[in-house]
Amino acid sequence: MKIQYSQLNKFLEQGYCSLGEIINQQKCRELLEFIKQTRDFEHGLFIEEEDFRANPQYTGVNPCPGRNILEGLDLSFIEQNPVLQSVLSELLGEEYSVVIKKVICGVPKKWIPDWALLEIDRLPVPNLGAFIKPQYRDITYFHGIDFHQDIIDYKNRLSDFITLYIYLDDVSELDSPLFIIPGSHIFGATTFPHSLISCGDASNSWLYSDNRGKSKFLQSNILTGTAGSTWFWHSCLLHGTQPTKLSQSRISLRYIIEKSRSSPSVLLDYVNSNLDGPLSLDNTRNDLNENGKSILRGNIINGNAKT
Ligand SMILES: O=C(O)CCC(=O)C(=O)O
């Protein structure tokens, strides 16, 4: 099965591509049910405040080899999906490989203890891992996340990978859907937090500057969709989420997939050769201290000024 030319063209110009509902919905729902059965997904996720204060841990609190709920699960309904395989081969070469796959849970406010809510107040990256019981850190938990590029996690690495994102729930505008800024990959890698100024009356218009002298007006889109809806994007594409406005979680799958090391030139290389900026940074973020704790407040996607 060949990917539509127009879809790849979209990736070239806009830095992302929607594959629609390509993944079997029933199997997505079964996987979602399995995940939900593994723990008490409400208050029981969180450690006690005294335990947090005694030894706050801001790093090493996300899924990793040996602590990842997806390890050992049969995900062939995704990974052997013929449309997906064809698209990824075209983009990354036939020997593309998965760097990491994980479950992401968008956590509603009502689950989060008050003391932890104060800790994450107006943070640009409200990753909740620091407050989650160690045995449940096999999933990444967010209460939204400000606009970022996925290269943020890979300093000194080239933009030789894409992110694949699959909704397991039906996701409406209220369920913490992804916001993306099409075309924002154009300046390559820029340091987080990004220079994005909301423009005019429309809440989706932005002036994006690379802090190296270039800027561009862009518009954000919201990705709503049913279970099985799938997207992929360039590692320099700006995207993020607002916290869910409902009282239930939003559970999704996120893969980082790198290009084939054996193919000398793949479509991603062509996209990268058309970017007007660096493919790699030795410092991808300025928001953390040496312990991994955020030293900045302010969250652009939620409309809070930086302080
Ligand atoms: O699912 C979310 O809330 C955010 C996911 C995301 O942007 C990421 O993992 O890079």
Spell out the per-residue pLDDT of the chain, length 307, in tens: 455 667 778 899 999 999 999 999 999 999 999 999 999 999 999 999 999 999 999 999 999 999 999 999 999 999 999 999 999 998 999 999 999 999 999 999 999 999 999 999 999 999 999 999 999 999 999 999 999 999 999 999 999 999 999 999 999 999 999 999 999 999 999 999 999 999 877 789 999 999 999 999 999 999 999 999 999 999 999 999 999 989 999 999 999 999 998 877 789 999 999 999 999 999 999 999 999 999 999 999 999 866 6
In this predicted structure, what is the pLDDT of residue 252? 98
In this predicted model, what pLDDT tens digit does every residue of 107-159 receive, in sequence order? 999 999 999 999 999 999 999 999 999 999 999 999 999 999 999 999 999 99
User: Which residue shows structure tokens 């300046």?
Assistant: 187
Please list the residues that pair with 207 across neighbouring strands: 197, 217
Query: Ligand 1 mean position to 255 CA, how many Å?
Result: 11
> Is residue 241 in contact with ligand 1, taking CB distance under 6 Å?
yes
| Backbone phi, psi, residue 250, to 5° | -125, 120
For residue 254, give the ligand 1 atom closest to its CA. Answer: 9
In this predicted structure, what is the pLDDT of residue 43? 92
Query: Ligand 1 mean position to 264 CA, how many Å?
Result: 30
In this predicted structure, what is the pLDDT of residue 9? 82
In this predicted structure, what is the pLDDT of residue 139? 98
Q: How far is CA 217 from CA 129, 207, 305, in A?
A: 34, 5, 19
Query: Ligand 1 mean position to 179 CA, how many Å?
Result: 10
In this predicted structure, what is the pLDDT of residue 13? 93
In this predicted structure, what is the pLDDT of residue 120? 97
Q: What is the dihedral of CA 74, 76, 78, 82, to 10 degrees?
A: 180
> Is residue 254 in contact with ligand 1, taking CB distance under 6 Å?
yes
Pocket test for ligand 1, best of 107, 128, 152, 239 (most atoms within 8 A of CB): 239
Helix, strand or coil, per DSSP, at residue 182 = coil
Name the residue with the closest Cα to ligand 1, atom 5. Answer: 240
For residue 239, give the ligand 1 atom closest to its CA. Answer: 7
Pocket test for ligand 1, best of 99, 104, 248 (most atoms within 8 A of CB): 104
* CA neighbor of 103 nearest in space, from 81, 75, 80, 84: 75
Walk me through the domains of the chain, giving residue ranges and CATH numbers: 5-185+222-295 (2.60.120.620)
Say how far apart CA 297 and CA 235 lie, in whole Å. 24
Neighbours of 213 (CB within 10 A): 6
